[in-house]
């Protein structure tokens, strides 16, 4: 296979991987915050339900969750979904999984804040919402950024798991080409692409961390 064709096919797969990456972050980051609130809720029912959800998402493999989300509607409810559901199922599984991890990161950051921060805000006349949005959240984001960065970098590599339900992301394309051509070159090129992708992500996250350096 010519290099131009190889790069074109892997480039298409890389675009799909980037879409999975972007959509997962877009939905899992805010969802994780709401899950964290549920985890810290004073209502024992809500707290325990969320706790079980987080435990399941963190305690089972993402590849298994992908298969459950994709095959579940058919085997459980006998519902046949369109071919395009493969990508939708991927996003649903990734978002639910990563929201659980982000929730625990958020929770750790929020609970690490000194009680004095809340008391000082109350003295200044802030209500609970204003205290959290204007004082607590910016500091929490700064504190949890290294942990979030680790999860984001892991997400880049985890996009390869979409091959389990035949989503044409980069690893799926590389595997298909390698099998057809009996060569390791597609895997090597895909590895280079993953590394560059991760390098860019790490660089962007480092820039964000430097921007938030004024909280030190």
The reported pLDDT for the residue numbered 208 is: 86
The pLDDT averaged over each successive group of 10 residues in the chain (216 residues) is 77 93 96 95 95 96 95 88 90 97 94 82 81 84 91 95 92 88 89 93 89 64
> How far is Cα 193 from Cα 198, in angstroms, rounded to an integer?
9
pLDDT of residue 136: 84
- The 3-class SS string of 163-191 reads HHHCCCCHHHHHHHHHHHHCCCHHHHHHH
Number of domains in the chain: 1
Check: pTM over 0.85? Answer yes or no: yes
**Residue-level pLDDT at 96:** 97
Spell 22-60 as b/e; 16+ CB within 10 A means b. Answer: ebbbebbbebbbebbbbbeeeeeeeeeebeebbeebeee
Q: What is the pLDDT of residue 214?
A: 56
Where residue 168 sits, what CATH number does that domain have?
1.10.3720.10
Domain residues for 40? 3-215
């Amino acid at each position: 296979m010519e290099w131009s064709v190889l790069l074109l096919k892997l480039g298409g797969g890389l675009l799909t991987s980037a879409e999975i990456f972007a959509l997962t972050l877009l939905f899992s980051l805010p969802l994780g915050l709401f899950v964290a609130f549920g985890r810290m809720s004073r209502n024992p029912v809500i707290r325990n339900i969320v706790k079980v959800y987080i435990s399941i998402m963190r305690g089972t493999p993402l590849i298994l969750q992908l298969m459950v989300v994709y095959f579940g509607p058919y085997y459980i409810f006998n519902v046949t979904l369109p071919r395009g559901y493969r990508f939708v199922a991927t996003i649903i599984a990734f978002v639910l999984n990563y929201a659980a991890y982000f929730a625990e990161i958020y929770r750790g950051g929020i609970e690490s804040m000194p009680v004095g921060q809340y008391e000082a805000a109350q003295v200044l006349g802030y209500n609970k919402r204003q205290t959290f949005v204007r004082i607590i959240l910016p500091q929490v984001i700064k504190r949890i950024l290294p942990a979030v960065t680790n999860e984001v970098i892991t997400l880049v590599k985890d996009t390869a798991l979409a091959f389990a339900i035949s989503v044409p992301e980069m690893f799926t394309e590389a595997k298909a080409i390698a099998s057809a051509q009996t060569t390791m070159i597609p895997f090597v090129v895909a590895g280079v692409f993953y590394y560059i992708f991760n390098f860019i992500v790490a660089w962007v996250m480092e820039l964000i961390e430097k921007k938030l350096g004024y909280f030190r």
